[in-house]
Amino acid sequence: EVLLRMHSVGICGSDVHYWQHGRIGDFVVKEPMVLGHEASGTVVKVGSGVTHLKPGDRVAIEPGVPRETDEFCKTGRYNLSPTIFFCATPPDDGNLCRYYKHSASYCYKLPDNVTFEEGALIEPLSVGIHACKRAGVTLGSKVFVSGSGPIGLVNVIVAKMMGAASVVVTDISASRLQKAKEVGADFTVQVKNETPQEVASKVESVLGCMPEITVECTGVQACIQAGIYATRSGGTLVLVGLGPEMVTVPIVNAAVREVDIRGIFRYCNTWPVAIALLASKRINIKPLVTHRFPLEKALEAFETTKRGEGVKVMLKCDPTDQSP
């Protein structure tokens, strides 16, 4: 294990949800819990068996650490391990604090040209990498990203990086769609009160064809329905956003058109990829951070996220650090 002095921690919608509602699905907050799972920091101390890190190293933290080497770990899909430790998922504490201890194997050294903030953004970026891999995005793909929050935006960035020829994004918020344009979306569609079928046909008309791949990042029932209607026959719909447990969808439409529906659960094996992309400047995720607060103003930071202001709110945990 390593002891870290925390530097930057992003606030996620799930953090806000636990704070407001005390549960997400089967994960219930039963006693006080530290939030935060999008994080970077500096190594202060290392355990006796740690050889790849030393005090002073800047690292990004992967929050999901398997507790045992089960069948899922053996096949490289450790995110599916039922006993996995995960920061800020009850009952496991997160890392929104000044000092934090974590498994050394899940701390990744940051190159000098990758900032602490970028290190903290690797966590949401990883959701995009995992989702686009599961979707099979490749050279020339036409992609529909449903939802333009932080997770929609990282999917736009990653899909373009993986060779998507055109990406269309839908949202109800004009300002969020503007952000999608800034990070590389080719087309945007502002949804008002159209039916799912109408949304699907708007997507088709701006793209000039039906997308082979849809990445659904809202979890809203109507959006999932639109995702099925929009996806080209033989294509793939990846469900990233999580809403209610039971959702009514036109499953027969998907079945008879051979639209594959895939789920994702967090990510696995994405930190090295993300660090390589950031170090080589192949992708730019800096525009995602719109607000910064010191740890003392955590409540204000959470309120800002809850109101849906900006994109990504970052908390700064290290009072000695003067970097912008």
Structural domains in the chain, CATH included, are 2-109+285-316 (3.90.180.10), 129-263 (3.40.50.720)
| Cis-peptide into 91, omega within 30 deg | yes
Q: Residue holding tokens 């992309």? A: 277
pTM: 0.96
Contact call for residues 311 and 143 (beta carbons, < 8 A): no
Amino acid 208: pLDDT: 98
Report mean pLDDT in 10-residue bins for the chain, 324 residues: 98 96 94 97 97 97 98 98 97 97 98 98 98 98 98 98 98 97 98 98 98 98 98 98 95 98 98 98 96 96 95 91 60
CA distance 280 to 276: 6
- Tell me the C-alpha to C-alpha distance, in Å, between residue 25 and each of 29, 142, 150, 305: 11, 33, 21, 21
Query: Roughly how many angstroms between the first and final C-alpha of the chain, as a whole number?
Result: 29
Give the CA dihedral 71, 59, 4, 303, nearest 10 degrees.
Answer: -90
